[in-house]
Amino acid sequence: IGRRAGVSMGTIYSVFRSKEEVLQAALEARGAEILELVRRAVSRPGPAAVAFLDLVRDYVQYFSAHPHFLRMHLRLGAAWMHSPENGAGKRAAVWAEIQRSQAEVLARGIQEGSFVDADPLLLARLFSAVHQTLLANWVEQGMKLPAEQFVGEVERWVKRLLWREPV
């Protein structure tokens, strides 16, 4: 981190007391970026199904643009469908807002007849689990599949999971 930022370890530890604090700060910063991405995608006008597919695309593009963060986030071993561990504070609040936002667009899609009729929060959590699994598989395979092709793969799985009509 110090090398990439062009600062010494002493400078880093003058701001952060431990590696854990550095990790938490990185997770909070990236979480805020992801939250903004979610807010933009779910607030787009038009059908909820289109907004949700935009969100899928935005997620994949974000993680493909930040592969080191993706690997680090996956290596933490936490299930994305669950709130971050106790004491995560700001991260837990961001996670909850992301889940709520996903659930809101899913609820809209259920009303429009696009998505399966189920608890929107449950569907958001199922999406998070599938998304994390697909990203982990992509990373394990060396991210060889170009991001645009991977988006198509994720979209196919999301449609199998959430769409009312078979696709």
Return the bridge partners of 163, or none.
115
35: CB partners within 8 A, 6+ apart = 94, 97, 98, 101
Q: Can you give the pLDDT at residue 82?
A: 65
Separation of alpha carbons 146 and 160, rounded Å: 22
Confidence of residue 88 (pLDDT cuts 50, 70, 90): low
Share of the chain above pLDDT 70, in %: 88
Give the best-scoring range by mean pLDDT among 25-29, 107-111, 127-131: 107-111
Cβ(16)–Cβ(25) under 8 Å? yes
Give the best-scoring range by mean pLDDT among 29-33, 46-50, 89-93: 46-50
Count of CB atoms situated within 10 Å of the CB of 98: 20
- Kindly state the average pLDDT of the residues 33-46: 90
Q: pTM of the predicted model, to two decimals?
A: 0.83
Q: Lowest-confidence range among 50-59, 93-102, 127-136?
A: 93-102
- Kindly state the average pLDDT of the residues 108-133: 95
- More confident call, 9 vs 97: 97
User: Given a cut of 90, is residue 114 above it in pLDDT?
Assistant: yes
Confidence of residue 90 (pLDDT cuts 50, 70, 90): confident
Return the bridge partners of 115, or none.
163
Please name which of 67, 132, 61 lies closest in space to residue 95, comparing C-alpha atoms.
132
Confidence of residue 79 (pLDDT cuts 50, 70, 90): low
